[in-house]
Structure 1
Amino acid sequence: MPVSTKPSFWWRHAVIYQIYPRSFADSNGDGIGDLPGIATHLPYLVKLGVDAIWLSPCFRSPQIDAGYDVSDYRDIDPIFGTRADFEHLISEAHGAGLRVIADLVPNHTSDQHPWFQQALLSPPGSPERARYIFRDGKGKHGELPPNNWKSVFGGIAWTKEPERAGSASRQWYLHLFDSRQPDLNWDNPEVRAEFEDILRFWLDRGVDGFRIDVAHGLIKGKGLPDFQVRATMVGDHDDKTPSDAPMWDREGIHDIYRSWRSILNTYPDERMLVAEAWVKPQERLARYVRSDEMHQAFNFDYLLTLWNAQAYRDVIDTSIQAMNAVGAPATWVMSNHDTVRHVTRLGLSIPGTRPPGIGENDEQPDEELGLRRARAAIFMTLGLPGSVTLYQGEELGLPEHTTMEARFRQDPAFFRTEGKEIGRDGCRIPFPWKADAPALGFNTTGKTWLPQPKSYKRYAVDQEEKNSDSTLALYRQLLKIRKERGLGDGALQWHESMEDVLDFENGSVRVVINFGTEEVPLPQGTIMASSLDLDQTKILPGNSAVWLENVD
């Protein structure tokens, strides 16, 4: 039978599983996860039912920001393995029917990148400095930063360069994140040419696509004007990257992605780009996924939504409408390596709120209630048309580590804010595979780069695989139905419902979620799956959900 040449547009409906390589599986026992460890667990991901894996950065790096400070974009960091290990992982994944998405960090490099080291040794106005954003300081002697921009990680976004022999002048360089992550100058053609070559380098080695870190930050406003960040509002947790700021979501950024898309279009097998862009409103985000730019953009409005039926209906409607207008799929996501895990967020007194980490002295979540809501939420997420990105461990119901001692923390945001911002370490804990093994099966030595909470033992894969009612069993069931029923390629139609209930159909599946605390009657239909073991098939308890066989 001849092979079909019809495009599959796999990225429109794919379920993508984010792997945080440091924390997935450690094959050599050093306490840090690695690529060979990931390769050995590909059968687990196949059985789960996902279509692709996205690997957080594993390129060579000093690891100041867990690999988001890259010093060599064409090599693998030794803590994760070798380039041969990476190519082997791609080959094994493809053999198992999984695509592989790499994480590209184009907004900034490490301060150990050869380019930045050359810049520090070169005079102001030199081609080497023009690859980054160096400026003279304000004040009589240049003692003040060039503008008032703040770092996303806390403090000012400028650092004065070290003293150089033979030079009396010292400029400042821009870093929207840590001081060891200098921002590149994307108005420089040399920078653009370099990243186009980096794309080709990994595409030639079989990578199926790229997640683009800080995709909204590459172009800065002309003249780098001052900007005053507004105060945070409850439920509005991305105020560090407001779309009207001169360092975010500038118009010229789209030319870059058009160029990248044209490169990907020359490769077979439908390579893809997905944007990490904290952009509001949805109409602005949709500009990143126009037909000649990226393929997907993470829906952070959805991630930030509080536990409320109307709030979810509003964000679902506006998201689908905005993406439909440019012919792109919505890409739904509840958790990632930068946010408190949604199991935990949904157990807070304001369920769904996104704190900047949770520590020992902060409000502690109701773990049981959070898990109950999270199990209901996945019925909504996987029931929607479009693509879905899952974060490793959510299929186990893993909570955030909320009581980690300060001495273990490694997130630069924790140190730059002097502990005022707890940071992201709590969602990056090594994965529990076996309840009674060293490091819960993460490795055989018991070493872990971050400590695992005691509660993780009951969430271990080997424990959940014994339980037909486990969260892992639920995810496997829903992912199987989703694929069989083609929900990713479907269309949403709302049904009228009670105040705390969402009721919609997608093809042959009807999705009902009760966000309230009181029982509600279920519509007619055979239950295909439920987040709880229902005693009465005609009643849906609070904080629960079902998929029904659509009888219409």
Structure 2
Amino acid sequence: MMYTIWRVVGITIGVTAVVGVVVGSLTWGILANRGPPPPELKPLDWWEHTVIYQIYPRSFKDSDGDGIGDLKGISTQLDHLVDIGIGAIWMSPIFVSPMVDFGYDISDFYNIQAEYGTMADFEELVKKAHDLGIKILLDYVPNHASDQSEYFKRSLAREPGYENFFVWADPIIDPNNASNRLVPSNWISEFGGSVWEWSEIRQQYYLHQFAKEQVDFNFRDPAVRNEMLNIMKYWFEKGADGYRLDAVVHLFEADPNDHGGVYPDEPLSGNMFLNPDQAGYTTQEYTKHLIELYDVLYDWREFADGWKDENNSETKILLAEAYANITMTMLYYGVEGGRDGAHFPFNFELINSLSAKSSARDFVYVIKRWLTYMPSGRVANWVFGNHDKNRMPSRFRTNMVDGLNSLSMLLPGVAITYQGEEIGMRDGYVSWEDTVDVAACNQGNPDNYLEYSRDPARTPFHWDNTTNAGFSTNSTTWLPIALDYTEINLKAQKEAKRSHYKVYKSLISLRKQPALSHGSYHIQALSENTFILIRHLITHDTYALLFNVGSEDDTVDLDNVTLLREPLTVYASSVHSSRVDGDTVPWGERGRVTLQAGEAIVLRAPPT
């Protein structure tokens, strides 16, 4: 009897379970057919998914015919930036400067360089940009000042309050000749030669990590730190929306108090390809990336956030120029569970680690590396060029322009464009006679100067095919116009049926899609030459970039890419691609797709 009862109970339980499964299946089937509710999208701060456009003011647009770009020139071309969808512009330094390093040697941090315009011109630019919805970021150079600055003149005279504003050091007496003075250490400047320069007036050496006219502040002096905040506050009040913080890896050098009262020599790096007067010949362990600099950066973030709260303004952002190893670079974001740092350090991995010889696996590794190391909750950024590096098409290949721009725009976070990348501008030729870059002049000669020169990446913007590419009405320009301006210019690309400009513009427009602003990412190499980047978000269209970074045609298999569903429609494609917007891309036999060398296609797929 007991056995029968248990069988009945068992049958009863079994039936209930089956009914539950059936009902659950029916319910899920109904929900699946209706589709899940769309996810609630978290509002983003203005900077978290924007596109930042770097302007090198001398080379953007000349409004007064002197051959040098200026602030009014920028104001006249803001419509171009609105047209392509830029959210913020970052201008290289516009402050008063003797122009030894073209603005990175500032003599007056509170005023505008005369050849760029006036304070009224700056205020007009800020107002016009803000009215158009564009933020203004300034290039702030806290590491050093010009030797023509009042700061240095007062420190040179040992004026009270300025005695220790810069890094001063007594000479070392030559043990073999008491009348011979020796430099305090073997440290080497980034522009070549010793970092130490003798001052007859003060009878001491001063430190300069760059040109001898760029004197390093002493950040162990509280007066220096306070003045840096004063400068930041001044330009916030003028309407600046944030700063790109230049050369912050150099803010501190080894403290002689920690080394027996002397500046310690650095070990040799062992790099046999460098001369004894070139940066990198020593390890630079006492001149870069000292841990003390992070606290200063965190103080600046606290100040910027405090100013925002006190003035009920939008977020003021800080972006750190930080060439460092991946671990040290991530500290610029701040400390997890602790203080915040920069809103992001510039991601130079795409510049430093990739080239025309890189494979698809190299691209995937470099991208995943940044996103893996990046602290939780932070925002990534992607940079392919700037005023210090060869232009993007010149470092890679010209047929990769649209693919590289597509990659920058489809990756999560902030995209950063150096002026001219939207039209595929290449390095211009600058002869030795026309070279003005202090790095090349200090280290180069007529045979090798291009190894050091940054001038080719700084030649003026190509607006059209008229004289001087529409940059200036002057007969000459501060740097020569690149010879290919009649072929590569904005006007021609606006008029062409297909162009880099039109691809670029469509890519920025695509960034408004929720899958790109809020979605997840998946990236993988499909072969040695081709990789796929997928951006997806439940209930929203999926977008994928297929990019052949190789120099030959490549056929890849999409069968194992589970996040894609047919039909696949072309949203954008490289200008040399046979595929055009709106085309359907059939997977073909076993899901195989062939791409030409350098070809990139951005695909739209149904929600996953």
SS in 2 for 1:260: helix
What pairs with 1:464-543 in structure 2 (closer than 5 Å)?
A: 464-485=493-514, 487-495=516-524, 497-507=526-536, 508-516=542-550, 517-521=552-556, 523=558, 525-535=568-578, 537=585, 538-543=593-598
- The residue correspondences of 1:351-366 to structure 2 (distance < 5 A) are none
Q: Is the 8 A contact 1:36 1:89 kept in 2?
A: yes
1:265 to 290, 305, 308: 305
1:386, 1:489 within 8 Å by CA — same for their partners in 2?
Answer: no
1:394 to 2:442 alignment:
no
Name the CA shift for 1:242/1:277 in 2 (closer, same or farther; >3 Å).
farther
1:114 pairs with 2:150 = yes
Quote the Cα distance in structure 2 between the aligned partners of 1:384 and 1:239.
33
Give runs of aligned pairs for residues 312-323 of structure 1, distance below 5 A. 312-323=363-374
| Closer/same/farther in 2, CA of residues 264 and 417 from structure 1, 3 Å limit | same
Kept in 1: contact 2:51–2:414 (CA 8 A): yes
- Distance across 2 between alignment mates of 1:478 and 1:326: 27
C-alpha displacement of 1:491: 2.5
The amino acid that maps onto 1:151 is: S
Aligned amino acid, residue 308 of structure 1:
S
| Residues 231/79 of structure 1: CA separation in 2 closer, same or farther (3 Å cut) | farther
| 2:495 is the counterpart of 1:444 | no
Measured after TM superposition, the shift of residue 225 of structure 1 is: 2.1
Deviations for 1:265-288, whole angstroms, at most 9, x for unmatched residues? 1212011000001010x2221110
How much does 1:466 deviate?
Answer: 0.7
Instruction: Note if contact 2:142-2:228 (Cα within 8 Å) is conserved in structure 1.
Output: yes
Contact 2:364 2:524 in 1 (8 A): no
Matched residue of 2:314: which SS?
coil
Report what 2:186 is aligned to: 148
Match of 1:206 in 2: 239
Q: Is 2:176 the counterpart of 1:131?
A: no
Deviations 1:448-500 (A, max 9, x none): 10011221221121111111311111111111112334524432113561222
Higher mean Cα deviation, 512-521 or 44-53? 512-521
Distance 1:198 1:495 in 2: 45
What secondary structure is seen at the aligned counterpart in 2 of 1:159?
A: strand
Is structure 2 residue 75 aligned with structure 1 residue 46?
no
* Larger-gyration structure (1/2): 2
From 341, 361, 371, the counterpart of 1:293:
341
Q: Which residue of 2 aligns with 1:251?
A: 291
Give ranges in structure 1 of 5+ residues lacking alignment: 1-5, 347-369
Structure 1 stretches (4+) deviating beyond 6 angstroms?
Answer: 241-244
1-structure distance, mates of 2:605, 2:282? 41
Verify the 8 A CA contact 2:364 2:523 in the aligned structure 1.
no
**CA distance in 2 between partners of 1:93 and 1:271 (Å):** 16
TM-score, scaled relative to structure 1: 0.88
Q: State the one-letter code of the partner of 2:601.
A: V
Structure 1 CA distance, aligned partners of 2:530 and 2:280?
A: 33
Pairing partner for 1:284 from 315, 328, 337: 328
* Structure 1: distance between partners of 2:605 and 2:48: 23
CA contact (8 A) 1:71 1:110 kept: yes
Deviates more, 1:538-547 or 1:83-92: 538-547
Q: 1:84 aligns with which of 120, 126, 144?
A: 120
Per-residue deviation at 1:532? Answer: 3.9
Give the distance between the partners of 1:454 and 1:47, measured in 2 at CA.
Answer: 26
Contact 1:510 1:547 in 2 (8 A): yes
Structure 1 match to 2:361: 310
* Matched-pair contact (CA < 8 Å) for 2:364–2:525: no
Distance apart, 1:226 and its partner CA: 1.6
Q: Whole-Å Cα distance in 1 between the matches of residues 78 and 554 of structure 2?
A: 40
* Counterpart for residue 414 of structure 1: 440
The structural deviation recorded for 1:526 is 1.4
Partner of 2:58: 22
- Give the superposition deviation at 1:244: 6.6
Answer yes or no: is the 8 Å Cα contact 2:360–2:525 preserved in 1: no
In structure 1, what residue type is equivalent to 2:314? Answer: D
Q: How many residue pairs are counted as aligned between the two chains?
A: 510
Partner of residue 488, structure 2 = 459
Q: Return the alpha-carbon distance in structure 2 between the equivalents of residues 73 and 447 of structure 1.
A: 29
Q: Which secondary structure state, in structure 2, belongs to the residue aligned with residue 415 of structure 1?
A: helix
Percent identity over paired residues:
33
Query: Which amino acid in structure 2 is aligned with residue 296 of structure 1?
Result: F
Q: 2:379 aligns with which of 299, 304, 329?
A: 329
Tell me, in whole angstroms, the C-alpha distance in 2 between the residues paired with 1:418 and 1:294: 35
Q: Structure 1 residue aligned with 2:461, among 431, 435, 438?
A: 431
Shift of 1:252: 1.0
Worse overlay, 76-85 or 527-536: 527-536
* Cross-structure match for 1:74: 110
Distance across 2 between alignment mates of 1:28 and 1:471? 29
The offset of 1:239, in angstroms, is: 7.4
Q: Per-residue displacement from partner, 1:224-243 (whole Å, max 9, x unpaired)?
A: 32224535699xxx974999
CA distance in 2 between counterparts of 1:477 and 1:372 reads 18
Contact 2:391/2:426, CA 8 A, preserved across alignment: yes
The equivalent residue for 1:98 is 134
What SS does the aligned partner of 1:109 have? strand
Question: Does structure 1 retain, via aligned residues, the 8 Å contact 2:58–2:69?
Answer: yes
**2:220 corresponds to:** 187
Any unmatched runs of 5+ in structure 2?
1-41, 257-262, 537-541, 559-565, 580-584, 586-592
Q: Does 1:404 align with 2:438?
A: no
The superposition leaves residues 275-322 of structure 1 with CA deviations (integer Å, 9 ceiling, x where unpaired) of 001010x22211101261110111112212233211111111110112
The question of whether the paired residues in 1 share the 8 Å contact of 2:269 and 2:283 is answered with no
Residue correspondence of structure 1 range 362-373 to structure 2 within 5 A: 370-373=397-400
Report the 3-state secondary structure (helix = DSSP H, G, I; strand = E; otherwise coil) of the residue aligned with 2:100: coil
| SS of residue matched to 2:146 | coil
Given that 2:50 and 2:87 are in contact with CA atoms closer than 8 Å, whether structure 1 keeps it comes out as yes
Deviations 1:9-67 (A, max 9, x none): 22221110000000000110011100000001000001011110000000011111000
Q: 1:343 Cα shift?
A: 0.6
| Higher deviation after alignment, 516-525 or 475-484 | 516-525
More displaced, 474-483 or 438-447? 438-447
